[in-house]
Chain A
């Protein structure tokens, strides 16, 4: 005969363990369906976080125009733009999963802390299901980190630093825009053809994440074609007068100046370099040349005559002739009376791509959307065949090499397309040393 000894302590332990065991599946089950800001009414809210004040406000305004247009197209308003040419047909112009898309906007001010605050406000107060936009890598990396913690998908806008999908990549973050490595890979062969292999380059670099990675990328790609890097000098962001940084270039023995500057800094440094007569100079028996690796239409217009003949690269340009570009430019041009910038195009594409992923996943859950975006191959949005690579959430597509036009007819064609560099030439492995190496990881997707 067996005897069972039941003690009070033993009973409590067993009861607690049993209770926890029974409760466990319920906890998992309930959390599996809880996502941040799950839309419950007949609308779903997108959050557009762009610079509305500060030095990139004009670019932010153009992004906002494109995002608004994308929402209209998703909701079936207007001519449908690039939805008509987009290879995926999951979006039918009736909104998203039976809900109309609305949007709220935030002002990044091109400051990381302000951008995080505006994104947080849109997520917590306005119930934004996703965040899209921005014109700075510092901002993109900061907001991407915030979205990862909050369990929100971040569709980056104009961010060109390798770090965004490199060492700082996140499972909830996605970048359509190209990056500094791709600029270097696309530019180097064109520079080799135009200026030869025996060149000495001097870099002036904006002193923050984007500038550093662009300098590293352009230096590596130009050294690979035989160029020598004479010096790399970091300049403060927003320095205004770059004359004291440009003056030493004159006697450095360099015959190429690489300006790793963007926005107002690029306009000022390029203008001042031209004023100092660099482009009229002969060094080492060759004409002195200037290279601006990252171009933007708005900045090119600001630099005026100084941009003529200067090489650079872009993610996209309205002068492309593919059907996706034509449809988007027509739709944007008729609504706003001007061609879109490449930051507008990337924000438009990102908004459409997010909505399409939701429609294909039939869910707003960030991890389901991320899964739909990972490895997604598409066409018809203006950049030709494109892959959203699963390993780092970076889009791979053709890259444009541009040159300042010699005879622009309007303020919109100050740049001309020199070459469309095929995607194969700008592709790199996900564990490339410039992108955080083998240690770089997306981490776990966060549903909120």
Chain B
């Protein structure tokens, strides 16, 4: 029983990331009708915003410590962060320690701007083109973005640790009446799950309870009619692209302490997120979120030794198997709408 609870918990944080990426994918598809293969790269860019903020906060000036030597035997050059120098050790160190959560504040405007630039500069030219063309151009964009990141940040994963207040893990087992250490879950993964829940709730509330959201939903249902009412729906859809990019970006920024950012992490998530969208139902926001969590948890279960002993390699294919079963039994996915990608 404890192993099952543990794998459900494990699936939650992975599922959170899938759900956040799939949510953005579905928003873009539902509003602009574009299949955005660069969405994983936006998740990766978000993670590297956190890396950049961490590097920015750690920017240092050098002083020479004559009492110590470097690897060539010269006096050791010691780096002192500017933040520590300006704000004192307490506040300066706290800002460096909290670089990842603080990076979300930077990621939102950066990703909104990047999303706007991508939509206006590239994707709008492909609205009337076939889905295959859209996939090709966005896939190309993803490769360009990841190569740029590799050029500037290198190929190795870069550590972006969680604040020291959130290192370590929470003993769920004791809370549920199990032995101590039976069900342990890292604090940061718990934070990530709660963060994802807030973001997902925020996006739904924005679409449900604001005039802007109402117009966007109307545009998703019937773009032409909304346009005939004199509303500039294209402008709103461009903003939605920016919001989807920001959701992917902050999801990536906060994921750094779970998975050290590297330039190809976006591609790793992209394929799985597309399966999530298809399983959830193309164009369905609740479907994307539900499928994200469902597949995250199933993937965790499939990695259990007991399951792999019966079905070797199942952890590698479980998501695709579920996708096949869902598509055979419910061709529109779990919550897919009629008419989406069916023309």
Contact = CB atoms under 8 A, between A and B. Distances in A.
A and B: bona fide binding partners: yes
Interface of A: 53-58, 231, 233, 236, 238, 240-241, 243-245, 247-248, 250-251, 263-264, 267-268, 271-272, 275-277, 280-281, 298-299, 302-305, 318-319, 329-330, 333-334, 339, 409-410, 412-413
A303 B14 CA distance: 21
A238 B258 CA distance: 14
A264 B260 contact: yes
B156 A299 contact: yes
B6 A247 contact: yes
Contact of B71 (A55, A277, A412): A412
B159 A334 contact: no
B184 A241 contact: no
B102 interface: no
A55 B169 contact: no
B304 A248 contact: yes
A302 B157 contact: yes
Interface in B235-287: 257-260, 262, 264-265, 268
Contacts of B13: 243
What class of interface size applies to chain B in its complex with A?
Answer: 35 or more
A82 to B, nearest CB: 16
A63 to B, nearest CB: 13
Given A264-B260, A268-B259, A57 B155 contact: yes
B5 to A, nearest CB: 10
A410 B189 CA distance: 30
- Counting from the closest, the 8 A-B pairs by CB-CB distance are A57-B155, A244-B303, A277-B169, A275-B186, A304-B159, A244-B300, A339-B71, A264-B157
Contact of B2 (A244, A251, A277, A281): A251
Contact of A333 (B72, B159, B169, B315): B72
Of B6, B157, B185, B260, most buried by chain A (CB within 10 Å of CB) is B157
B267 to A, nearest CB: 10
B169 A275 contact: yes
A215 to B, nearest CB: 15
B169 A271 contact: no
A304 B161 contact: yes
Contacts of B6: 247-248, 250
A267 B71 contact: no
Nearest to A280: B168
Nearest to B316: A236
B232 interface: no
Contacts of B181: 250, 277, 281
A241 B186 CA distance: 13
Interface string B166-201: 011100000000000110111011000000000000
A409 B262 contact: no
B161 A55 contact: no
Nearest to A274: B167
A302 B70 contact: no
A158 to B, nearest CB: 14
Contacts of A413: 71
A132 to B, nearest CB: 20
B298 to A, nearest CB: 11
B65 to A, nearest CB: 9
Contact of A231 (B157, B169, B264, B305): B305
B260 A302 contact: yes
Contacts of B257: 275
B315 to A, nearest CB: 7
Given A244-B304, A329-B72, 15 more contacts: A55-B264, A241-B14, A243-B14, A250-B182, A250-B184, A264-B156, A264-B157, A267-B159, A268-B157, A268-B260, A275-B189, A277-B184, A281-B181, A304-B161, A334-B72
